[in-house]
Chain A
Amino acid sequence: MSAMTPSPADLHDRRERWLLLALLAPALAIVLLLLIVPLGWLGWQSLRDDSGFTLIHYERFLSDPVYWKTFLQTFRIALTVTLVAVLLGYPVAYVAAGLPGRWGMLVLAMVLLPFWTSVLVRAYAWLILLQRTGLVNSALKSAGLIDAPLPLVNNEFGTVMATIHILLPFMVLPLYATMQKIPKELTMAGSSLGGTPLHVFIRVFLPLSLPGLIAGMVLVFVLTLGFYITPELLGGGRTYMVSMLVSRNIEVYNEWGAASSISVVLMVCVFLVFRLASLLIPFERIMGTR
């Protein structure tokens, strides 16, 4: 670039760069208009009240116990959902990846089927299953296992149950994708060198499936952080998640600044989770591009 007259190669490069930029422009414009601008507005709102600049909306995180309690409960639910989803999802993905093609697809299809049902419908289905006069309690009662109905819904338990059900595919799919690519020869080699099945699993298979596991965990954890309908319908009014705090600030108190500050803090939390995970595996693998 320092030459007085650019070489033909330079010119070609420059033209190509402009072309690439032109191709990207529509997508960039959409991201700018629909994501960056609203996010900027959100940040701006969170730092203002009627009299101008203020930090009052962030001070509430320290002064108002409702704020940190809500975040605490949200993270506790997200952690529980993630761990249970691992316990349920890992074996399913393992079986699906181990089965011959068509059967593996069938297992996956069964995991995905509920995925195409509305979240609302599934929340109500859980209500019918878990409520006091619901199927589960009736069955347990008629089997003589319980005297009084168990409190299975309208609390944190019911919320966690339904959330796991909704998010399980996000755990199984990345796991399956990773496991399928693990060459069978590696585990066979491990066995032939004298490893017991458990030993081979822990030393060979598990480490190789870790990228899928971490990807699944991050996805499930982050998606749970933003859950709204499920805790609203199944939480009995006591299960309070961050998204509900946002909506309450707008609907009940008309406090856009407070709602914005909560959204900003939640977003920072999500970035931190991604950052932590990317220390373990590259970000592109979490998003499944590699």
Chain B
Amino acid sequence: MNRTLLALPVLALAAGAAQAEQITFVSQGGAYQEAQTKAILEPAAELLGITINQDSAPDAWPVIRTQTATGKPIWDVIDTPTKDCIRGGEQGMIEALDFSKIPNAADLPDAYKSPYSVAYEFYSSVLAYNSDTYGENGPQSWADFWDVEKFPGTRALRNHPLATLEAALLADGVPADQLYPLDVDRAFAKLEEIKPHITVWWTSGAQSAQLLADGEVDMEMAWNGRVSAVIAEGLPVDFTYNQGMLQYTSLCILKGAPNLDTAVKFINAAISADIQANFPAYIDYGPGNPKAYDTGKITPERAAEMPSSPANAALQVLVSDTWWSSAEGEEAQKRWANFIQQ
């Protein structure tokens, strides 16, 4: 599919019909990229009068490394976990952004930006539970998740330290605004407590949804989009944004991108409040620009379902990609395998 998308504009160029500027945009494929095509890419292309070619990579990081290593990059703009933008920038594989050319970035709080990236789309790791098991009084915090006396039942967590260590520290009473830098030892000690009660350490989003849908676990940490999909099927599942782990993917530009100027123009348009406000109509992930909620395009009901709406964002913890891409963060990831197997 990507090949045909690529081929069409190339043919048009060859015929001399199109002299429009163009960029190659990369995201993670699937329903997620299709939603973006309608919500963001088509409106942005129309606004700027440019052609947007698409490619997709479920994990962009290895491709970023090979494309910059060959010195002939093909990609321009990448939608990827912020961590990739930051470590890529630090290793000379991602362009530093000239924010004077991206005026719309002023709408974003500093925490949503890095020298190499701007927030694009928000998702959240939330506490979801079986509403048949707990009724009206489901677990509402990570302390509840750890409380096996008050909330008996099977549990699942993601087989990955990111967001999981944060949850452990919150359960252990660390205030949300003092999480970073993470106290890794304390987090692992707290995780040892809950370990015997974890039935499954899930590895894919699909698996986390299946665990909830089949009633295999009574509560788990899962991505809000996956949980919403299970709820939409009419299954007895509920979740809370309280103490959710707010995460976002960012847009960044590959070092030596063939269409740098157009890429910068595109980023400015893609993060504008007006275009960002299209996201909720197509997918359960929230706009990266908070001003999108002021455009009137997003109903209050829909905003209440979005991870990044100001009311929901206030309940959650913003996961620090800067910390996770630091040496301590990398070390914590290596320690995880040991923890799981002991």
Query: Are B341 and A70 in touch, CB under 8 angstroms?
Result: yes
Query: Are A154 and B340 in touch, CB under 8 angstroms?
Result: no
- Does B200 count as interface, using CB distance less than 8 angstroms? yes
- Does A240 count as interface, using CB distance less than 8 angstroms? yes
Report the separation of the CA atoms of residues A233 and B334 in the bound assembly, to the nearest whole angstrom. Answer: 22
- Does A25 count as interface, using CB distance less than 8 angstroms? no
Question: In the complex, how many residues of chain A place their beta carbon closer than 8 angstroms to a beta carbon of chain B?
Answer: 21
Report the separation of the CA atoms of residues A132 and B155 in the bound assembly, to the nearest whole angstrom. Answer: 12
Those of B286-339 within 8 Å (CB) of chain A? 333-334, 337-338
Query: Are B341 and A154 in touch, CB under 8 angstroms?
Result: no
Q: Which residues of B contact A254 (CB under 8 A)?
A: 62
Instruction: Tell me the minimal C-beta distance from A278 to chain B in angstroms.
Output: 33
Query: Are A154 and B216 in touch, CB under 8 angstroms?
Result: yes
What sequence of 0s and 1s flags, for each residue 57-69 of chain A, a beta carbon within 8 Å of any chain B beta carbon? 0000000111001
- Does A252 count as interface, using CB distance less than 8 angstroms? yes
Interface size range of chain B in the complex: 20 to 34
Report the separation of the CA atoms of residues A240 and B340 in the bound assembly, to the nearest whole angstrom. Answer: 9
- Does A237 count as interface, using CB distance less than 8 angstroms? yes
- Does B177 count as interface, using CB distance less than 8 angstroms? no
Q: Which residues of A contact B340 (CB under 8 A)?
A: 237-238, 240
- Does A114 count as interface, using CB distance less than 8 angstroms? no
- Does B214 count as interface, using CB distance less than 8 angstroms? yes
Q: Which residues of B contact A196 (CB under 8 A)?
A: none
Report the separation of the CA atoms of residues A133 and B218 in the bound assembly, to the nearest whole angstrom. Answer: 12
Query: Are A237 and B216 in touch, CB under 8 angstroms?
Result: no
Report the separation of the CA atoms of residues A13 and B203 in the bound assembly, to the nearest whole angstrom. Answer: 61
What sequence of 0s and 1s flags, for each residue 21-59 of chain B, a beta carbon within 8 Å of any chain A beta carbon? 000000000000000000000000000000000000001
Query: Are B341 and A132 in touch, CB under 8 angstroms?
Result: no
Query: Are A253 and B334 in touch, CB under 8 angstroms?
Result: yes
- Does A151 count as interface, using CB distance less than 8 angstroms? yes
Query: Are A66 and B216 in touch, CB under 8 angstroms?
Result: no
Q: Which 3 A-B pairs have the closest CB atoms?
A: A237-B201, A237-B159, A236-B200
B contacts, CB < 8 Å to A? 59, 62, 154, 159, 199-203, 207, 214-216, 333-334, 337-338, 340-342
